[in-house]
């Protein structure tokens, strides 16, 4: 294809500098196609990749040069013209070549992708591969390019031809293999991913710097039906060649193990990350492992990780504490729960409303009014909604524990905060206050309640 594309750095996968990606829906035609028939396509006089125009007609480029010479053309102009030219691929390619001269060959990667997509959708595969060769030479190929190629073959019903043609026309380099594996990852195709990976190893060998390829393969496998076992097998094979994935895969692996409740798999990848790859886990990684141990009722191991993470430069956040607090309450390890609650508010982390409500309920059930009130005081200062049920539970709980003065005190405060006390709660307070000969106190509460 004409024009020299923008040079890409040799290391790393090629990526478009623009955030735009190739559209997966077919762009609008210049003339909207009928809903009952395929879009009209004008048969080109030649293949768009042919070097010369039809000699019986004026050259397309010469017509443009004559008609709009001197007008500036930008990359965005070219992209807009190409988007509207899917019904006229021959003329679009001529325009693309002509505009390359005005842009000094500096077409955007998006424009190149549009040309590839347009030729593929019009089943002009030879011309499409000519364009891909030019992109490959300039290191402009991306996942969007390959996705367009394969989608065009799929639409044409020629999937197997696509794979064979790719091998014959372009010899993939590490970047191309990484892009192919990323495509397999997005599609979740473990079978093709393993074939591509085997082909990559046979063609270019093992390279510790080829992290994107290792990440994509292992992420694809870990999501498969036999995920952890397959991922472990390939991970160990990579390890024999001193090739390892990056943190991206380990985060994916731990998240998948958590979903599957696979503590053994999680421990394998955690140990490999720490000991073999020598990666330092961040707070998010610790949160995944702590959640894993909590779900397995291994609370002591979860607490050990909480103590260990600070030494590794990771600091607990709201999620860390809330996961641990939730399971400490659930397992009725209330001393530890009280300690974690105090620690997290000291470190300016926020217990969730659900955890606060459950903590108050459990501490009242065990007649630990001191901690229940401590949690309530923090809760009522930090949450303004959905407090009614817990407020009523607190007043009834204090009353049932013969903590009548505190029940009265907090009932008045709750009413002042415009949190609704139920009539049943007031009836229980009235009963206790009447027995204690404190009808006047109840009248004060009732007056507040009526005129709140």
Residue 163 lies in a domain: no
Least confident of 155-159, 169-173, 190-194: 169-173
Residue 45 lies in a domain: no
**Which whole number is the average pLDDT over 225-236?**
92
**Which whole number is the average pLDDT over 347-356?**
95
Residue 122 lies in a domain: yes
Determine the Cα–Cα distance for residues 130 and 137; give it in Å rounded to an integer.
11
Return the pLDDT at 440. 87
**Mapped to the 3 state alphabet, what secondary structure does the chain carry?**
CCCCCCCCCCCCCCCCCCCCCCCCCCCCCCCCCCCCCCCCCCCCCCCCCCCCCCCCCCCHHHHHHHHHCCCCCCHHHHHHHHHCCCCCHHHHHHHHHHHHHHCCCCCCHHHHHHHHHHHHHCCCHHHHHHHHHHHHHCCCCCHHHHHHHHHHHHHCCCHHHHHHHHHHHCCCCHHHHHHHHHHHHHHCCHHHHHHHHHHHHHHHCCCCCCHHHHHHHHHHHHCCCCHHHHHHHHHHHHHHCCCCCCHHHHHHHHHHHHHHCCHHHHHHHHHHHHHHCCCCCCHHHHHHHHHHHHHCCCHHHHHHHHHHHHHCCCCCCHHHHHHHHHHHHHCCCHHHHHHHHHHHHHCCCCCCHHHHHHHHHHHHHCCCHHHHHHHHHHHHHHCCCCCHHHHHHHHHHHHHCCCHHHHHHHHHHHHHCCCCCCHHHHHHHHHHHHHCCCHHHHHHHHHHHHCC
Least confident of 12-16, 149-153, 353-357: 12-16
Domain that holds residue 9: 1-32+58-158
pTM: 0.64
pLDDT > 70: what percent of the chain? Answer: 81
Of 138, 158, 178, which residue constitutes the final position of a domain?
158
Q: Is the pLDDT of residue 276 over 60?
A: yes
Q: Is the pLDDT of residue 143 over 80?
A: no
Residue 148 lies in a domain: yes
Return the pLDDT at 135. 87
Phi, psi of 295 (to 5 degrees): -65, -25
**Which whole number is the average pLDDT over 29-42?**
37
Residue 369 lies in a domain: no
Burial of 133 (0-12, 13-18, 19+ CB in 10 A): middle
Residue 87 lies in a domain: yes
Of 158, 188, 221, which residue constitutes the final position of a domain?
158
Residue 448 lies in a domain: yes
**Which whole number is the average pLDDT over 82-96?**
91
Give the total number of structural domains in the chain. 2
Of 158, 184, 217, which residue constitutes the final position of a domain?
158
Return the pLDDT at 401. 92
Residue 335 lies in a domain: no
> In the structure, what pLDDT confidence band is assigned to residue 106 with cuts at 50, 70 and 90?
confident
**Which whole number is the average pLDDT over 2-14?**
40
- What pLDDT digit, counting tens, does each position of 415-443 carry? 999 999 999 999 999 999 898 888 888 88
> In the structure, what pLDDT confidence band is assigned to residue 167 with cuts at 50, 70 and 90?
low
């Amino acid at each position: 294809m004409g024009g020299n594309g923008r040079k890409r750095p040799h290391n790393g996968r090629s990526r478009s500098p623009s955030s735009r990606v190739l559209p997966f829906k077919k762009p609008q035609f210049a003339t909207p196609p009928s809903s009952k028939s395929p879009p009209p396509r004008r048969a080109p006089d030649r293949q768009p990749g042919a070097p010369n125009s039809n000699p019986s007609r004026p050259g397309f480029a010469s017509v443009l040069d004559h008609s709009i010479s001197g007008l500036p053309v930008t990359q965005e102009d070219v992209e807009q013209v190409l988007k509207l030219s899917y019904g006229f691929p021959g003329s679009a390619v001529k325009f693309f070549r002509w505009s390359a001269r005005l842009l000094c060959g500096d077409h955007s990667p998006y424009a190149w992708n549009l040309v590839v997509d347009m030729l593929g959708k019009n089943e002009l595969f030879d011309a499409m591969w000519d364009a891909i060769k030019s992109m490959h030479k300039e290191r402009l190929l991306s996942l969007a390019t390959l996705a367009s190629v394969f989608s065009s073959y799929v639409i044409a019903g020629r999937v197997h031809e696509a794979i064979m043609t790719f091998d014959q026309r372009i010899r993939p380099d590490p970047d191309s293999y990484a892009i192919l594996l990323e495509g397999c990852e997005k599609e979740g195709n473990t079978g093709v991913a393993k074939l591509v990976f085997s082909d990559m190893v046979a063609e270019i060998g093992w390279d510790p710097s080829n992290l994107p390829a290792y990440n994509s393969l292992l992420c694809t496998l870990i999501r498969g039906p036999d995920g952890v076992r397959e991922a472990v097998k390939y991970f160990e094979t990579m390890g024999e060649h001193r090739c390892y994935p990056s943190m991206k895969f380990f985060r994916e692996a731990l998240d998948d193990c958590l979903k599957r409740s696979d503590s053994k798999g999680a421990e394998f990848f955690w140990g490999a990350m720490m000991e073999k790859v020598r990666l330092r886990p961040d707070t998010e990684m610790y949160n995944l492992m702590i959640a894993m141990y909590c779900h397995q009722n291994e609370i002591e191991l979860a607490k050990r990780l909480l103590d260990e993470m600070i030494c590794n430069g990771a600091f607990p956040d709201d999620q860390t504490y809330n996961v641990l607090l939730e399971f400490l309450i659930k397992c009725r390890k209330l001393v530890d729960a009280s300690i974690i609650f105090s620690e997290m508010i000291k470190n300016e982390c926020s217990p969730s409303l659900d955890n606060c409500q459950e903590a108050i309920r459990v501490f009242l059930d065990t007649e630990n009014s001191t901690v229940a009130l401590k949690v309530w005081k923090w809760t009522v200062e930090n949450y303004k909604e959905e407090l009614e049920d817990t407020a009523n539970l607190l007043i009834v709980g204090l009353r049932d524990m013969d903590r009548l003065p505190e029940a009265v005190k907090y009932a008045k405060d709750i009413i002042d905060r415009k949190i609704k006390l139920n009539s049943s709660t007031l009836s229980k307070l009235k009963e206790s206050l009447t027995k204690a000969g404190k009808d006047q106190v109840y009248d004060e509460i009732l007056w507040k309640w009526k005129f709140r």
